[in-house]
Structure formats: structure tokens, C-alpha cells
Amino acid sequence: MFDILEADIIVFQETKIQRKDLVDDMVLVPGWDCYWSLPKHKKGYSGVVIYTRQSVCAPIRAEEGITGVLCPPTSIVNFSEGPEDQRIGGYPTKAQLEASLVDITTLDSEGRCVILEFPAFVLIGVYSPANRGETRDVFRLSFLDLLDARIRNLADMGKRVFLAGDLNISREELDTANAEAAMRKTGYTREEYISTPARRMFNQLLEGGKVIEARDEGREAPVLWDICRGFHPDRKGMFTCWEQKVNARPGNYGSRIDYVTCSLSMKTWFSDSNIQEGLMVSFERCVISSS
């Protein structure tokens, strides 16, 4: 598969594997390094891994989690308090952490984020929680809030940032086939639909994101560019996820919830970005490429 993709960096989400189940074929891929985040407690759940091609790009720092509270595998000192030359930086401030409604160690315990720093940029590979009910909504919004804080803090440090992965958010009506049905079911107006908390938070990160009324404090300006949408601003049906239980992929009844985004200063780095719907890595998911 790696040869088919012809990529230098590959981000996978929802690996659903435990450390004890990792085998050589997963971690000893010739010519590649890999960096994993695995759930600490739940079995067969979540998980993120980033593969980097050794001949092209080598990270200078690697971390697990968005808050900096976790520790490297061989240390009892968390990432945010380690030696300065080993820290990626941009960690949520004390005030940002205290605003979380979920314990931050719990928030980073589900294997949802790997952060790599390269000489020219920081890459955040993420698998955001889905909307699964009121209890998980609190977890989800706390995760997204601290992810937003980490990205903005890194940007404030002058670091270029990539955010790539499954955000479990469709930006707007154009990004999902069931927008009309969802609005009828909930009774939302279009403005209310765009302003649901997770969607509003994500759109405030993105250049061109739809934001109704005044922007939130601390989110006055966008800092990321949605690369694929940038190259295809009006394209309909550009979905990355389909419901497998109802065989929705053949009819392209899906949503775009997976993204590759970058700092606004990196727009000129790219000549193309697209979904690879013909590459069947997963029946319910689609590869996104940016080059």
C-alpha cells in the first residue's frame, strides 16, 4: 500500500489495536519510521499512527497527546516539563487547561493524537471523538477546545502547523449528503446548523470557515487552510466517510470529516490535493492526498 500511495508522510486513525498486538509488519516497515498513540485503557479502540519515509523526512521531536501531560515511553517526566530542547511547545496554558470540563490525563488517554516536529513544521495527526451523546459531547468539545489551543499556541510561537486526520466534523452543508435531513430532524435553521459547537470551533480555525455572528474570544483570526477544499472550493460529493451498515459508498451518500490542513503561510507549498475514492484502503473511508 505504501508504494501505491507514493507519499512521504502517512497518517492513519482509528487503528483499534493494543500495544501487545503490534507485529513486525506494522512497526518495522522497510524504509519507514512510525509513531503510535494507543489507548491506555480501552481495548480495540481509537489509535493514531504516523509513518514517515526515512530517506525524505525525519522528525526532530515526537510527542503523544495534545496537552503535554503524558510522558515519553522511558520517562516519568511529562512532555511539557521535559528538557527545553526536547519540547515541541505550544502546550495549553494553565488557564486553558483549567477551562477543560474533562480531566486532561483522561482526555489524552484514548490514543487520539501524535505530534511530530520537523525542521520546517509541526504535524498533528489526530482522531477526534465523534458525537455519541451528551456525556461524550463534553469529552469531544473539551478535546477540540484544547486542540484549538495547542494549534494557536504553536502558531503564536511562529511555528508552521499541519493538522491532519479524522476530525469527525463536516464543515458545512457542502460537506455532507445529509445536511437537509439533519436540519429537519433537529429543527435547526441553517445558521444554527453551522453554529453547532464543534462545527463553529473548527470553522473558526479555518480560513473561509463560516462563522455566524462575532467570533469567540481567542479565536479572532483563522490560522489554518483546508487544503483539499482550497483546490476544489465548490465541488459537491467530495466525501471521505460513508456508513458501512447501509452500504452508502456506492451511492456516495456520505460526509467529509477527514482533513489535511496547514498554516496559511504554507499555501504555496501545494500544487494539488484530492480525495482518492478509487483507492479502497477501507470500505467506509477514503484516502486524502496533498502534494
DSSP bridge partners of 275: 288
Among 39, 43, 45, which Cα is nearest to 14's?
45
Q: How far apart are CA 85 and CA 13, in angstroms?
A: 28
Please indicate whether residue 259 is annotated as part of the active site.
no
Name, in order, each residue with C-beta under 8 angstroms of 198's C-beta and a sequence gap of 6 or more: 131, 140, 141, 144, 168, 169
Catalytic residue among 108, 145, 148, 166: 166
Length of the chain: 291
Please indicate whether residue 253 is annotated as part of the active site.
no
C-alpha cell at position 253? 451518500
Q: E-assigned strands of 54-112? A: 61-64
Residue linked to cell 509488519: 25
Among 230, 234, 228, which Cα is nearest to 289's?
228
Catalytic residue among 35, 51, 91, 127: 127
Q: How far apart are CA 263 and CA 173, in angstroms?
A: 24
Catalytic residues: 127, 166
